[in-house]
Amino acid sequence: MKIVNVVGARPNFIKIAPLMREMRKHSEIQPILVHTGQHYDEHLSDIFFRQLGISEPDVDLQVGSGSHAWQTAEILKRIESVLLNEKPDVLLVVGDVNSTVAAALAAIKLGIPVAHVEAGLRSFDRSMPEEINRILTDAMSDYLFVTEEDAVKNLLREGKSTGQIHFVGNVMIDALRQFLPFAGASPIGEILGLGCSDEPSPFALMTLHRPSNVDSPATLQALLQSVEEIAERIPVVFPVHPRTQLRIEALRAKVHSQVRLIPPVGYLDFLWLMSRARFVMTDSGGIQEETTALGVPCLTLRENTERPITVEQGTNQIVGTEPERIISAAHRILSSERRRGRTPLLWDGDASQRIVDVLLRESREPSDRFSVSAHS
């Protein structure tokens, strides 16, 4: 069974690592890794391949940055020849980035079945480019691998059959469980003056990258003001995405002495920071999941989430972008009023095995592709 696996951005690398590892356990699977080059620099791409033990991609499309339309079109053009040459049995895509939807569209036009890992997640906010990518990818996919029960409901409501939907758990948590012990040896704490791995000092962690937050000067200014206030009580470590760095520089914003602006860090360093933070502030979906699995309080700097289980069962709170809400939530956590979450169903480190088992079973029964009902 030949499976072309497509990645393009940081979250994809984390999700594909346990899947590639699981595929290589089976002699009947030939996994091929295609990197679109959507994220291509040292901090956002190369270091993740090294730290996650992902082999060099079989194909690197070297697309690079550009507008959503340009990037999606360029990936679509470049991956078509790869699919024609390889003739895979399945194209597997993860997450909701431009690489995901472009590769899926190229495959379906060629009659190649598409497997979408992390299917069915919905924010119900179509102003988010990722929401459009999620909806379109799911519409094109034959195999829909979901992380939470709400995703199953979303897909059924959109007309997908139960035989296409597979409730398997969360591959992001597979990677977290595998690499967390190694993250304990990261020197990032000592480098940043946050203490050693055994006895870190209290700090908060922040990430920002969504256009709705960083491309609006007013919104970005409000978020930075919130951080200034929080930094009066606790140091804030802020690994800055290159896009966000440019927007901050354009604002000429004042930065509190306790806000540590640092370049993006590798996966193991980020795991160390995330697992030891007093709380995390973010607009990232994946970090909402990781903090839930770690039991670390998370303040989501958005008005919605496509991962509602992190709020319903986990440690996540939706606080939006108004300074008053953010600061109030942070102060409650610092006063030890933190919510105690629990780990969602099937976030147990075995999602990759379940996905590969489904694909192998389907390959042995190709005439009955949609015979497997969603797990409960």
What are 95-132's pLDDT values in tens digits? 999 999 999 999 999 999 999 999 999 999 999 999 99
Residues 36 and 159 reside in one and the same domain:
yes
Structural domains of the chain, count:
2
More confident call, 356 vs 55? 356
pLDDT-based confidence at residue 43 (cuts at 50, 70, 90)? low
Which residue among 209, 241, 331, 375 is the active-site one? 209
Residues 165 and 216 reside in one and the same domain: no
Same-domain pairing of 151 and 23: yes
DSSP letter for each residue of 16-77: HHHHHHHHTT-TT-EEEEEE--SS-SIIIIIHHHHHTTPPPPSEE-------HHHHHHHHHH
Residue 370 has pLDDT above 80, yes or no: no
- pLDDT value at 155 more than 80: yes
pLDDT digits (tens, 9 = 90+) for 245-278: 999 999 988 789 999 999 999 999 999 999 999 9
Q: Tell whether 8 and 150 lie within a shared domain.
A: yes
Q: Which residues pair with 31 in a beta bridge?
A: 3
Residue 340 falls within a domain, yes or no? no
Same domain, 300 and 328: yes
- Give yes or no: residues 280 and 198 share one domain: yes
Establish if 77 belongs to a structural domain.
Answer: yes
Instruction: Tokens for 179, please give them.
Output: 């690499």
Q: Which helix (H) or strand (E) holds 229?
A: helix 217-230
CATH number at residue 19: 3.40.50.2000
User: What is the residue-wise DSSP string for 252-298?
Assistant: T----TTEEEE----HHHHHHHHHH-SEEEE--HHHHHHHHHHT--E
Residues 86, 10 within the same domain: yes
What residue numbers bound the domain in which 330 lies?
Answer: 187-334
Is-catalytic flag, 375?
no
**pLDDT at residue 285 is higher than 90:** yes
